[in-house]
A = this chain, B = another copy of it.
Amino acid sequence: MKPAIIRNGEQPGESETERAARLIRRAGARATPARVRVLRLLRSAPTALSHHEIEQSLGDLALDRVTLYRVLDWLVATGLAHRNADTRRTFRFSAASGSEHSAHSHFRCDGCGRVFCLDAAPPPPPRLPEGFLLSRIELDLRGRCAQCAGGAQ
């Protein structure tokens, strides 16, 4: 099961699973199947996923509910993933994509609640009240996604 050892540089032929495992070890934790599967899933998802959606997507490989929460918490804590509350007040998770940590754009669908990550230009940093510390800017767009706007109205 274990392939030839791969060096630290990001080799082009490295599988997504191996890449996920390496990211996890580099963060200083064990590359358990649970973590690898979840990170791999997040990295391949086009939208931010809810806990429930992740459970569904894992199918037969599904983890215990609590374990999934803990894996997600850990990913967020180490910065490998982002967490956001959606319109319906449930958390959604997305893989952190390396550099674009600090400025981000999301589209939240009022119909299905999904969150889409956009590559929109980061807005300029605004002025804040005295004493406030800024760590992250996000442009938050609300409306209806193509599916909800077109299909079922």
Binary B-proximity of A118-132 (CB < 8 A = 1, otherwise 0): 101101001111111
**How often does this chain occur in the complex, in copies?**
2
Kindly identify, within residues 96 to 153 of chain A, every residue whose CB is under 8 Å from any CB belonging to chain B.
Answer: 105, 107, 110, 116, 118, 120-121, 123, 126-147, 149-150
- Count residues of chain A with CB under 8 A from any CB of chain B: 39
Is B142 touching A140 in the complex (CB atoms < 8 A)?
A: no
Residue of B nearest to A142 (CB): B136
Interface segment out of the listed A30-38, A52-60, A82-90: A82-90
B-chain residues with CB within 8 Å of residue A133 when the two chains form the complex: 143-144, 149
List CB contacts (< 8 Å) of A41-62 with chain B. none
Q: Taking CB as reference atom, which chain B residue is nearest A88? A: B85
Do B134 and A143 have beta carbons less than 8 Å apart?
Answer: yes
Q: Which of A105, A138, A141 has the most B CB atoms < 10 Å from its CB? A: A141
> In angstroms, how far is the closest chain B Cβ from the Cβ of A73?
13
The 5 closest A-B pairs by CB, nearest first: A131-B146, A85-B85, A85-B89, A136-B142, A120-B126
